[in-house]
Amino acid sequence: MYCDFSIAVRSHVPVEEYLRALDSELTTRHRESEFELETLYFGGGTPSKLGADGVRRLLDQTRRRVILRHNAEITLEANPEDVSPATVRAWRESGVNRVSLGVQSFDDGVLTWMHRTHDAKTARNSVQVLREGGIDNLSIDLIFATPTVIERSWERDLDVALQLDLPHLSVYGLTVEPHTPLGRWIARKNVLEAAEETFEAEYLLAHSSLTAAGYEHYEVSNYGRPNKQSRHNWAYWSRNAYGGIGPSAHEFDGEARRWNTSAYVEWVARLFRGEDPREGREHLDQAQRLAEHVYLNLRTSTGLPISASEEEQMKRLLEAGWAALTSDSTLRLTGAGWLRLDSIANNLTLLRSRS
């Protein structure tokens, strides 16, 4: 409802079929490829549903195809209700050293509205179980700007997260996709979307609360303790090459992107016919590379180096408190500036395209 990922809702998780299809995709497309990976990320959904043995087998078959560096960051996305001492032990023994929990909220009313199958107590307990099991490199997702029909305290959610003293948090505003149940409810006016003022206030509350507690707001939606940033996600923001397998997975080789069909049934069928499940490919032209360079740098704390002439054009941003300029002429957006990221990036891209 709040994530536009490729998903399949089933009473029985087809673990065997899924693992066979993943192995087939690696064989079909990457028979001659040689991968040495610094990060490995199982997500874009909830791979914890594969079960302890399924995750172990997934990592085993991955290792047969790729080389993982000795200090590789191996992240598993997980539902809180899938966390138990036995599963954590199995994940850790298989090589998982970082877990991202889809908590979303510590308010039972919000979780019920989202149709989550865990409650707030389960979410808090899952953090403790992971730590006791030896996985202390943890991240949680929280969602703000929920519809006004929900009586929810965003401040309380942040307070609970701070009490857990987590290494990393990802904070996302609820976005409405037209083809989702929420999108249809809002279109029929059964539910009112959070006002822009609410979205801004809650985003800035997270920014002020978490940075005051010592977190670095290092990307528009991400906060980390020192040395606990997501190494995998930095690869995306730095435009490094990355591979991806699975339904709806994307890959980037530095020049072009390709993506798989999103429907699970179609993805499996193509692979079992010995076909590549690729759905599309996009080669980035000079204008697209320029736009990405500006946008990706501005969305992180790295910032964007700008010229003297651009500094003059950016005075309005600085005066409004939306950006700061370092001594080496790097433009970095503030929390308030990140709320206007798209507009600022578009304006700077247009300025550079004309020069």
Tens-of-pLDDT digits for all 355 residues of the chain? Answer: 334 444 445 557 899 999 999 999 988 877 777 788 999 999 887 899 999 999 999 999 999 888 899 999 999 999 999 999 999 999 999 999 999 999 999 999 999 988 899 999 999 999 999 999 999 999 999 999 988 878 889 999 999 999 999 999 999 998 765 555 555 555 555 555 678 899 999 999 999 999 999 999 999 999 999 999 999 999 999 999 999 999 999 999 988 999 999 999 999 999 999 999 999 999 999 999 999 999 999 999 999 999 999 999 899 999 999 999 999 999 999 999 999 999 999 999 999 998 7
Q: Are residues 224 and 312 in the same domain?
A: no
Q: Are residues 211 and 326 in the same domain?
A: no
Task: Classify residue 16: in a domain, yes or no.
Answer: no
Q: Are residues 172 and 317 in the same domain?
A: no
Q: Which of 237, 266, 300 is the last residue in one of the domains? A: 237
> Domain total for the chain?
2
Q: Are residues 193 and 318 in the same domain?
A: no
Partners of 40 in beta bridges: 74
Task: Classify residue 173: in a domain, yes or no.
Answer: yes
9 burial type by CB count under 10 A (0-12 exposed, 13-18 middle, 19+ buried): exposed
Q: Are residues 324 and 220 in the same domain?
A: no
Q: Are residues 198 and 97 in the same domain?
A: yes
Q: Are residues 96 and 233 in the same domain?
A: yes
Q: Are residues 97 and 229 in the same domain?
A: yes
Q: Are residues 65 and 156 in the same domain?
A: yes
Q: Which of 178, 212, 237 is the last residue in one of the domains? A: 237
CB contact set of 338 (below 8 Å; sequence gap of 6+): 203, 220, 299
Residue 50 — left, alpha, or beta (φ > 0 → left; ψ -120 to 50 → alpha)?
Answer: alpha
d(CA 123, CA 116): 11
Structure tokens at 123: 């979410």
Q: Provide the CA 185 distance to its chain's centre, in angstroms.
A: 25
By C-alpha distance, which of 192, 72, 190, 85 is closest to 135? 85
Task: Classify residue 17: in a domain, yes or no.
Answer: no
| Type of residue found at 185 | W
Q: Are residues 43 and 118 in the same domain?
A: yes
Q: Which of 214, 237, 260 is the last residue in one of the domains? A: 237
Domain of residue 309, residue span: 286-353
Q: What is the pLDDT of residue 265?
A: 94
CATH number of the domain encompassing residue 192: 3.30.750.200
Which residue shows structure tokens 């020069």?
A: 355
Task: Classify residue 174: in a domain, yes or no.
Answer: yes
d(CA 239, CA 159): 34
d(CA 309, CA 45): 44
Task: Classify residue 219: in a domain, yes or no.
Answer: yes
d(CA 191, CA 155): 22
338 burial type by CB count under 10 A (0-12 exposed, 13-18 middle, 19+ buried): buried
Q: Are residues 208 and 314 in the same domain?
A: no
Q: Are residues 314 and 203 in the same domain?
A: no
Structure tokens at 320: 């409004």
Q: What is the pLDDT of residue 3?
A: 40
Task: Classify residue 145: in a domain, yes or no.
Answer: yes
